[in-house]
């Protein structure tokens, strides 16, 4: 391994080094290292149980790690004295099950965190809510409740809710896995637009075609290890037999 | 001794019924406030707080309300603290209700899906913000039917206050019976009044359950 000296602005947004994590006797992360630079889109792929979702959740400290180090936007995530709320203001996370708050309208969902965490005035927050909803193509759903929206619309609203906090990096945890192919498309388009706008993103995905089209870098995880990594080309010409088999069965 | 049931007796019973309602409200209010604190303690991040509150719930749920009444009314004076029947009955009910409502509400907090807690955490909301703005509004919806249902238990359990000399519905029935000696008639009237207080609540609770909570009704009405 060789180290490249970087200036401060060029230091990675997300950096994992030799991260180990077990759930009881089960080793889920076995020395995982990767970096994500500013503006980069990283796709985390692998079979179910390969540790990719756990790795993603560790970045936002939804899981604590046993050893190794994670640094995200300058926050040492592995530090027990970490300011969790500061970390989470810099990191946006979108889940497979959308997790909009059902008792609030879409607008209320979006302005909740900016108003209560960043202490932005309601008027300003509402203007911003309109902007982020326009970004995901849902400006007309401002006053609807989540249950009145389709799955794809709910997921886009959830992305808008994250964007309203102006995160420096977005994490996507299998955000299209609960959607049928038609609705998947509309969500992927939104993510594509975000990537084009220069958002730094880490996404766990099963959409190989999408990963190929959007990812600057692909990390293939296998049995808790980074098994193969490279540009999106590794998906078409994999080196290791495991990745070959994985993308082979994915077709 | 003797005589027949007259308007004065019925007035007396009505007065007793009012105290039954009053004592129930004291139990609901006091027990509700204490129960909310118990519920928060039961899901506290601190292990010690969780264990202590779980112990409290186990202790109270394992003790008959009658014994709690005896302890506060006869036990405390032995320690030099005098309490009136109302205070003893109110305090006992509050303790009793807090353990049960605390446990019911803990279940309601925990039945708000875990991803909702995580989504709130991911948005950098503080613990109290997550509680007040995300979890509590959803938990209240879930909690309303069982809470209304539990009010029936509170009303029925106030009858135990008669043993510490508190004149509520059951005790006023006993007193009238002591002079008229018409137990079947009088206790039938008492039973009917209890039923008239409890049945509408049971129905209401059931209806709330079918409708999926009060918020849903408001939404449909809007």
Amino acid B170: pLDDT: 94
Tokens of B139: 């938990």
Compare CB distances from B116 to A88, A101, A112 and report the shortest one's residue: A101
* CA distances (Å), origin B83, targets B25, B70, B71, B77, B140: 19, 11, 11, 7, 35
Angstrom distance (rounded) from CA B196 to CA B152: 11
Tokens of A120: 């932005």
Largest CA-CA distance found in chain B, in angstroms, rounded: 74
Q: Which residues in chain B have Cβ-Cβ distances shorter than 8 Å to A88?
A: 121-124
- Taking only the tens place, the pLDDT of each residue in B17-43 is 999 999 999 999 999 999 999 999 999
Chain B nearest CA to A162, separation (Å): 7
The domain segmentation of chain B, as residue ranges, is 7-221
In the stretch 20-49 of chain A, residues with CB closer than 8 A to chain B read: none
Burial class (CB within 10 angstroms; exposed 0-12, middle 13-18, buried 19+) of A182: exposed
Tell me whether A103 touches chain B (CB under 8 Å). yes
Q: Which residues pair with A26 in a beta bridge?
A: A23
Residue whose pair of structure tokens reads 């609770």 in the numeric block: B205
CB B129 within 8 A of CB A116: yes
Helix H, strand E, coil C: the string for B7-63 is HHHHHHHHHHHHHHHHHHHHHHHHHHHHHHHHHHHHCCCCHHHHHHHHHHHHHHHCC
Best of B113, B115, B124 to disrupt the A interface by mutation (most A CBs within 10 Å)? Answer: B124
Q: Which residues in chain A have Cβ-Cβ distances shorter than 8 Å to B120?
A: 101
Q: What is the mean pLDDT of residues B171-192?
A: 94
Under an 8 A CB cutoff, do B125 and A92 touch? Answer: no
Under an 8 A CB cutoff, do B138 and A102 touch? Answer: yes
The fraction of chain B above a pLDDT of 70, given in percent, is 94
3-state secondary structure (DSSP) of residue A81: coil
| Predicted ipTM beyond 0.95 | no
* pLDDT of residue B215 exceeding 70: no
Q: Which residues in chain B have Cβ-Cβ distances shorter than 8 Å to A102?
A: 138
CB A220 within 8 A of CB A43: no
What DSSP letter does each residue of A200-242 carry, written as one string?
Answer: EEEEE-S-HHHHHHH-SEEEEEETTEEEEEESGGGGTS-SSHH
Angstrom distance (rounded) from CA A210 to CA A206: 9
Q: Which residue is closest to B115 within chain A, CA to CA?
A: A99
* pLDDT of residue B211 exceeding 80: no
Amino acid B212: pLDDT: 59
Amino acid A10: pLDDT: 65
Angstrom distance (rounded) from CA A171 to CA A202: 5
Angstrom distance (rounded) from CA A148 to CA A141: 9
Q: Which residues pair with B126 in a beta bridge?
A: none
Amino acid B66: pLDDT: 96
Query: Which residue, among A245, A216, A240, A246, has the nearest Cα to A34 in the 3D structure?
Result: A216
CATH number for domain B7-221, candidates 3.30.70.260, 2.120.10.70, 3.90.1150.10, 1.10.3720.10: 1.10.3720.10
Under an 8 A CB cutoff, do B125 and A117 touch? Answer: yes
Tokens of B122: 């991911």
Tokens of B55: 């112990």
Torsion of Cα atoms, B41 then B47 then B49 then B50, to 10°: 50
Compare CB distances from A99 to B116, B133, B137 and report the shortest one's residue: B116
According to DSSP, the β-strands at A169-173 and A200-204 are parallel
Q: How far is C-alpha B155 from the geometric centre of its chain's CA atoms?
A: 7
Residues 6+ apart with CB under 8 A from B136: none
Tokens of B45: 């991040």
CB A131 within 8 A of CB A162: no
Under an 8 A CB cutoff, do B215 and A95 touch? Answer: no
- Taking only the tens place, the pLDDT of each residue in B67-117 is 999 999 999 999 999 899 999 999 999 999 999 999 999 999 999 999 999
* pLDDT of residue B217 exceeding 50: no
The domain segmentation of chain A, as residue ranges, is 8-99+169-250
Compare CB distances from B119 to A85, A99, A103 and report the shortest one's residue: A99
Tell me whether A162 touches chain B (CB under 8 Å). yes
CB A31 within 8 A of CB A225: yes
Q: Provide the residue-wise pLDDT of chain A in tens; the chain has 251 residues.
A: 444 444 445 689 999 999 999 999 999 999 999 999 999 999 999 999 899 999 999 999 999 999 999 999 999 998 889 999 999 999 999 999 999 999 999 999 999 999 999 999 999 999 999 999 999 999 999 999 999 999 999 999 999 999 999 999 999 999 998 888 888 999 999 999 999 999 999 999 988 888 998 999 999 999 999 999 999 888 888 999 999 999 885 44
* pLDDT of residue B5 exceeding 50: yes
Chain A nearest CA to B168, separation (Å): 41
Amino acid B161: pLDDT: 95
Across A47-141, the runs of DSSP E, i.e. the strands, are: 67-72, 75-76, 91-94
List alpha helices for A117-207, DSSP H.
Answer: 122-135, 151-163, 181-196
Chain A nearest CA to B100, separation (Å): 26
Tell me whether A88 touches chain B (CB under 8 Å). yes
Under an 8 A CB cutoff, do A62 and B118 touch? Answer: yes
Amino acid A181: pLDDT: 87
CATH 3.40.50.720 correct for A8-99+169-250? no
């Amino acid at each position: 391994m060789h180290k490249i000296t970087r200036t401060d602005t060029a230091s990675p947004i997300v950096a994992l080094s030799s991260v180990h994590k077990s759930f009881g006797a089960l080793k889920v992360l076995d020395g995982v290292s990767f970096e994500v630079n500013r503006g980069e889109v990283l796709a985390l792929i692998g079979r179910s149980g390969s540790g990719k979702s756990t790795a993603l959740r560790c970045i936002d400290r939804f899981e604590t790690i046993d050893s190794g180090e994670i640094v995200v936007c300058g926050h040492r995530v592995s530090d027990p004295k970490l300011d969790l709320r500061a970390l989470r203001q810099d990191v946006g996370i979108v889940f497979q099950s959308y997790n909009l708050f059902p008792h609030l309208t879409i607008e209320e969902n979006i302005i909740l965190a900016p108003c209560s965490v960043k202490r932005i005035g309601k008027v300003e927050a509402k203007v911003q809510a309109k902007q982020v909803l326009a970004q995901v193509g849902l400006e007309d759903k401002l006053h609807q409740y989540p249950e009145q929206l389709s799955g794809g619309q709910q997921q886009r609203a959830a992305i808008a809710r994250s964007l309203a906090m102006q995160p420096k990096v977005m994490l996507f945890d299998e955000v299209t896995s609960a959607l049928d192919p038609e609705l998947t498309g509309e969500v992927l388009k939104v993510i594509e637009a975000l990537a084009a706008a220069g958002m730094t993103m880490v996404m766990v995905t099963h959409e190989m075609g999408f990963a190929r089209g959007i990812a600057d870098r692909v990390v293939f995880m296998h049995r808790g290890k980074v098994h193969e990594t490279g540009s999106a080309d590794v998906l078409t010409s994999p080196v290791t037999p495991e990745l070959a088999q994985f993308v082979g069965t994915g077709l | 001794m003797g005589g027949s049931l007259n308007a004065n007796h019925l007035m007396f019973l009505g007065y007793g019924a009012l105290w039954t309602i009053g004592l129930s409200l004291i139990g609901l209010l006091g027990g509700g406030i204490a129960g909310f604190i118990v519920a928060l303690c039961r899901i506290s991040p601190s292990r010690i707080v969780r264990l202590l509150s779980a112990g409290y719930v186990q202790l109270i749920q394992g003790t008959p309300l009658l014994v709690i009444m005896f302890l506060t009314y006869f036990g405390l004076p032995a320690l030099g603290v005098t309490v009136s029947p109302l205070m003893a009955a109110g305090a006992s009910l509050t303790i009793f209700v807090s353990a049960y409502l605390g446990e019911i509400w803990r279940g309601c907090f925990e039945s708000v899906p875990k991803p909702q807690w995580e989504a709130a955490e991911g948005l950098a909301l503080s613990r109290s913000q997550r509680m007040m703005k995300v979890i509590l509004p959803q938990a209240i919806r879930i909690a309303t039917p069982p809470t209304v249902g539990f009010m029936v238990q509170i009303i029925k359990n106030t009858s135990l206050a008669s043993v510490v000399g508190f004149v509520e519905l059951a005790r006023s029935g006993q007193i009238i019976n002591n002079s008229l000696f018409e137990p079947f008639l009088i206790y039938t009237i008492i039973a009917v009044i209890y039923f008239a207080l409890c049945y509408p609540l049971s129905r209401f609770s059931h209806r709330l359950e079918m409708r999926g909570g009060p918020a849903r009704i408001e939404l449909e009405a809007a």
